[in-house]
Structure formats: C-alpha cells, structure tokens
Structure 1
C-alpha cells in the first residue's frame, strides 16, 4: 500500500496518473495547500521541503520508504515495478532526459507563468512577458519533439506523465495552441487513457474547504499501522 500526500496540482496529478497506470493500491491523504496543511509537523517528517506530492511506500523492499519530489517518485516507482521506464540503454536515457526537462524547465517556468499571470497581487508586465515567452519557447521544443512521435521518448513513459499535467493548463499559461498542433494531438492521446481519466477523477473529489490538524494527520497515519 502507498500513502499519497496529494493536492490536485500538476505535480499531484503526475502521481495519481502513475499509480493508476501501475494499478497499485494506494490511499490519498489530502494536503490542502491553501490552508497550509503542508507545514504540519507529521507531513514535514515525510516531506521536509513542505511540498506535495510525497509518498510513503509501505511495501518498499527493505522497509517503508518516505519520498518527496515528483520526479524522484516517478523514477523510483517505475523502476521498482518495471514499467514506464526502460531498464537500460538509450531508451532509458531519453526518458530521463525528458523527465528532467520537465522538472527543470517546463514545470518551473509554467509555474511562474501561472503565478504572475493568474495569482500575483500586483501585475508586473516584465515578469508576465518573461515567463509567458519562456513557456512558449518550451512548448515549441516539445511540439518539435512530438513531430512524428506519439510520445516524447518513444513509448509512453513517466516523462509523459510528468509533462501532460502541465501542458493541459495551456489556457492558464496564455498559450496559442494553433502554433503547437503536435501538442494538441498529444493532449488528446494521453487524455483518452483510462488511467489518466481515473487519476483526474480523484481531483474532482478534493475538498478545498477541509483542512487537517496535526492531531487529525497523526490519526490518519496511525490508522495504517
């Protein structure tokens, strides 16, 4: 059993997609980042960087494993279960390349795009243009990679699971998708996967009005013991 500490953000969606694709048993422990659940001591003991997603894999070889950082979780669980990450060679290298492209480029730049265009209390034109333009540049890189390929690194992989939730938010990022036809087809292709649909159904169940206390979270964690 895996405990998934989750909120319905792009990084959270990566993990529900992975777990649904792998068919693993898991339970969602909702972390309401709007109400600062991520700063509760019991969560910080699992995810010291106070960010979601994080997991506790109770069945990990050698004993339960607490793990934060979505890219690390995708890599470790895919490798452990022998799916969505080739074992060696060029194929593995390409998947890890595109996973790290998302982690180091698309995610941070699109995240800043979201912040300055949607949420910042003050409109800062320089920042808005900078991050919108950089997001568009990265979309161009992805669109070119998908020209003639269904997925970014050959077969469907953890790299696609990482990228999809971010480009799905293209409207929020102010992207003109007429410039990126291969990404449009990619979104449709991945969105039709049953596991992806199940993963996004989990997001619809998230209650933004509820929050945890340290006592409640401890009780949830002990209920697994």
Structure 2
C-alpha cells in the first residue's frame, strides 16, 4: 500500500496518473494547501519543503522499513523503478525519458507556474511579468510540439515523461496558449486525455476538491507569504 499525500494541482495529478496506470494499491491523504495542511508536523516529516505530493511506500522493493519521498519527479522515477513500468529499460531509452522528466521539472512546471501566478493570483497585474511568462510558456509548448512531431509520446512509448508534462498542459487556456497552434502537442494531449487511467485520475480529483486553492485573503497569505522564517 502506498500513502499518497495529495492535492488537486498539476504536480499532484502526476502521481495519480502513474498509480492508476500501474494499478498499484494506494490511499489518498488530502493535503489542503489553501488551508495550510502542508505545514502540519506529520506532513513536514515526509515533505520538508512543505509542498505536495509526497508518498510513503509501505512495501518497498528491499523489504525494509517504509520509504517516504517528496518531489513529484523523484516520486515518478521511484514508482517506475519499483514497478518496472513506464520507463524504458535500455540505456538510451531511459535517459531519453529522464531528460524530458527533468525538462518538465526545471522548465515547463516552473514557467507555467509563474504564468499562473502573475496572470491569475497576483494582486498587482504587472504587464512585463505576465508577458514574460506567457511567452516563455509558449516557447516551451513549441519545444514539446517539435519533439512530438516524430514521436507518438515524448520518449517513444508512454512514460513518466508524459505523465509529468500532461497535467501542466491541462490548464493551457489559463496559460493563454492555443493548442491549435501546436498540432503535434494537441494530438498527444488528446490521446492522453482519452486514456482510461487519465480519466480515472481526474475523476478522483473532482471527488476531493473542486475549489480554487486561493479563494480568500487567508489562503492567499498561506500560499504566497512564505519566507525563510516560515520554514518549520
């Protein structure tokens, strides 16, 4: 059994996509980030960066004590290695998938995240910041579109690279991106959306939360007023 500490964000969806595809037994432990659940001591023991998702695997492959992990990319890689699924088993194939996983973690996720922040959540609408992150998000869409021109999925077969990227493309309209401008990306996006595991993962999210994480001044303060002094 795997405990998944989760909230309905793109990074959270990555892990439910994998777990549903692999058919692993798991239990969701909701972490309402708008209410401050990520600062609870029991969560910080397994996720010291106070961010979701995190997992606890009660049946690790070495047969030892439970293993906890935070950071969505690290969790995807751990689960792929644990199950032997959704990562190529050749040297070149594995590293092809890993480089795109790291591309999402270091590029698509952070840039789209800043896009969301300045477009949707910032009290002061700063045109330079909005334009900067909308354009950079579009550039990254272009990079992914180019890769998908001659690949069915990002690294060949469906893999953790696709699971990492897909949830960050779901809010493309909020990111001011028109998928019609990226035909290979749109084809890929539609194919993943139609997978039964994807539909199960997102249906599950609807059961857990349908409200925005930032809904009032209190939640805004919880999410955006953090600094070195708030690290517990």
> Which residue does the alignment assign to 2:4?
4
Which structure 1 residue ranges, 5 or more long, are not aligned?
A: 210-225
- Residue 20 of structure 2 contacts residue 201 of structure 2 at CA under 8 Å; is this kept in 1? yes
Partner Cα distance (2:101, 2:51) in 1: 19
> Which residue does the alignment assign to 1:80?
82
Off by >2 Å, runs of 4+ in structure 1: none
In the TM superposition, 1:4-153 aligns within 5 A as 4-60=4-60, 61=62, 62-153=64-155
Q: What secondary structure is seen at the aligned counterpart in 1 of 2:208?
A: coil
In the TM superposition, 1:201-220 aligns within 5 A as 201-207=203-209
- Residue 146 of structure 1 contacts residue 182 of structure 1 at CA under 8 Å; is this kept in 2? yes
Aligned length: 209
Which structure 2 residue ranges, 5 or more long, are not aligned?
A: 212-232
> Which residue does the alignment assign to 1:214?
none
Map Cα deviations across residues 128-187 of structure 1 (whole Å, 9 max, x no partner): 000000000000000000002210110000000000000111001001222101111111
> Which residue does the alignment assign to 2:227?
none
Partner Cα distance (2:179, 2:120) in 1: 19
Map Cα deviations across residues 86-119 of structure 1 (whole Å, 9 max, x no partner): 2331100100010000000000000000000011
Task: Measure how far apart 1:15 and its partner are.
Answer: 0.3
- Residue 79 of structure 1 contacts residue 87 of structure 1 at CA under 8 Å; is this kept in 2? no
- Residue 30 of structure 1 contacts residue 206 of structure 1 at CA under 8 Å; is this kept in 2? yes
Task: Measure how far apart 1:208 and its partner are.
Answer: 6.5
Q: 1:202 to 1:179 in 2, by over 3 A?
A: same
Q: What secondary structure is seen at the aligned counterpart in 1 of 2:34?
A: helix
- Residue 32 of structure 1 contacts residue 208 of structure 1 at CA under 8 Å; is this kept in 2? no
> Which residue does the alignment assign to 2:190?
188
Identify which of 189, 193, 198 aligns with 2:200.
198
Q: What secondary structure is seen at the aligned counterpart in 2 of 1:34?
A: coil
- Residue 34 of structure 1 contacts residue 208 of structure 1 at CA under 8 Å; is this kept in 2? no
